[in-house]
Structure 1
């Protein structure tokens, strides 16, 4: 396990250096680069830039067990630390729902909020006979074996679960009949679909933008509350009658043992980041869509998501 510490503004520190100069610490449960590291560094930097905190926020990279090492460290060693925030995403809640963190549960921390997301999408090739999400769902209900999905996650991962959520909302219960092929990343998944090896792709908006602009694919639905800025011609699943919001959100959790006052303080700081011009630009620069759920509203969202993912994972045999 390698732990790398730095400030959110980029200067690296030795492991043994005193940290009293910092207002707080953000743990990124992965090595530098990638989504969790981005969350800590961007949110931490903007919090300081807009004076939501008085001093720079230290970033600690704590890779291990797909986020599990950081989670267990927070729960077991830093449960009452009021100056600690931890980067999280949809992968965090999916792994908790599937018991991938060695028995840890989502109620052992407090989820503060999410302020941006990579929207989930359901995509077909440009020449597909399916013109809407309803067309696709109707075809599956009539003949479940006629449609195969490709996605960039393994069986039971978030890409696999997205179409299952949609089908459950449509009243289709035998989800074990749904064909899903997990490949190595979203680009491979969309290539499978363009090539006709699968009839649809389930993934994230950032993975398909290039293919969309080149005219190779049609997006049947984006899995957000509202249409995505810059892609206003793509309808949501909700407006097509399927009440599913499935996004790879970017957010934070904190130790469970802190006070409600500490929770509210971090929620307020995160809300200020969400409202800032700096964060709006960061979302544009990194292909994220607005997705702001902060405080108790977000905790309720997480609780519901974990419950749904756990049940779906049982239904398809990923967990017992």
Structure 2
């Protein structure tokens, strides 16, 4: 099954989520085999995955009878976090925040544990990748950034070396015919500081990790890598509309150690649907411009493997891997 077909199938399922809202609000949280669940991310505090997990944790206890804690395991562009999760007990007590980063790290750096050593459990969101700059800086459009890069090379920021953001920047470089220096970071917070102080011309990231500075008017969105404009940001053009044929979408979900029982995974299938239909949480994730895209534990492995196959093909065509 193709990735887009899986997404379409998941979207059809999401159309029924509203049916869960009132019932879920009244239901008791589902019984669960452990009392404490650790949600691991490679992201630094304030980074996209960190924000995603911490916000979601506020609501998960309504649907799964457990306490949820977030653990930041930085290093190796996700390699340390993957090793932490892959070696954990397969009892539903430890999960990893899946993003394209864990695919890129697995393919590019041969870490101790890869995406193949973990069991995809559920996708939850699609996230918008955006290009941003400081509002009081010289760039008012993506064209301005590219023109600058043609004259003086330019400096662009991405979250870490093995990330969708880095690949988005690399693809933009190739499509625009420029040789900008791409400076990578272990988290979105550090990158933000370097964009704000003018060290970087632009950054590539997610709206949720930019929210505070965006709301304060200190940064401006120049474009989105989404195939279509972001519904809540209709004035922000796509990269493709700006003249550069690059489109990318980021997924956000959960994976655990291999061997998690089907009955435990099924608890997550149901809880994710109820969670996404929760009116309070729906407002929170809509404010962060996250698009609900549930994919259950039966279909998520295929989605991940398909993404990995396409990513590997791209990395080989660019010479990033052999």
TM-score by length of 1: 0.64
Q: Is residue 93 from structure 1 mapped to residue 99 from structure 2 by the alignment?
A: no
Mapped partners of 1:167, 1:204: distance in 2: 19
CA RMSD of aligned residues (A): 4.4
- Whether contact under 8 Å (1:124, 1:217) holds in the other structure is yes
Residue 259 of structure 2: aligned partner: 257
**1:250 and 1:157, CA in 2 relative to 1: closer, same or farther beyond 3 A?**
closer
Quickly say closer, same or farther: Cα 1:61–1:220, change in 2 above 3 A: closer
**Equivalent of residue 110 in structure 1, options 101, 104, 119:** 119
Q: Secondary structure at the match of 2:37?
A: strand
Question: Using the alignment, how far apart are the partners of 2:200 and 2:79 within structure 1?
Answer: 33
Tell me which residue corresponds to 1:222: 224
Q: Is the 8 A contact 1:149 1:202 kept in 2?
A: no
Q: Distance between the aligned counterparts of 2:115 and 2:314, measured in 1? A: 17
Structure 1 pair 33–138 and aligned structure 2 pair: CA distance change class (3 A): closer
Pick aligned residue for 2:195 from 190, 211, 228: 190
Residue 318 of structure 1 and its aligned partner are, at CA, apart by 6.9
Q: Deviations over 1:142-167 (max 9, x none)?
A: x8565424215355554432222345
1:74 and 1:209 map into 2 onto residues whose CA distance is 29
Summarize deviations over 1:47-100 as a string: whole Å, max 9, x none.
Answer: 431xx43x2245474746565455335434534x3x345131434334333336
State the alpha-carbon separation in 2 of the partners of residues 307 and 136 from structure 1. Answer: 35
The answer to whether 1:237 aligns with 2:225 is no
Q: Which moved more, 1:219-228 or 1:296-305?
A: 296-305
Q: TM-score normalized by structure 2?
A: 0.63
Matching residue within 134, 157, 173 for 1:151: 157
Over 3 Å counting, the alpha-carbon distance change for 1:198 and 1:252 in structure 2 is closer
Query: Gapped runs of 5+ residues in structure 2?
Result: 1-30
- Structure 1 alignment gaps of length 5 or more: 1-20
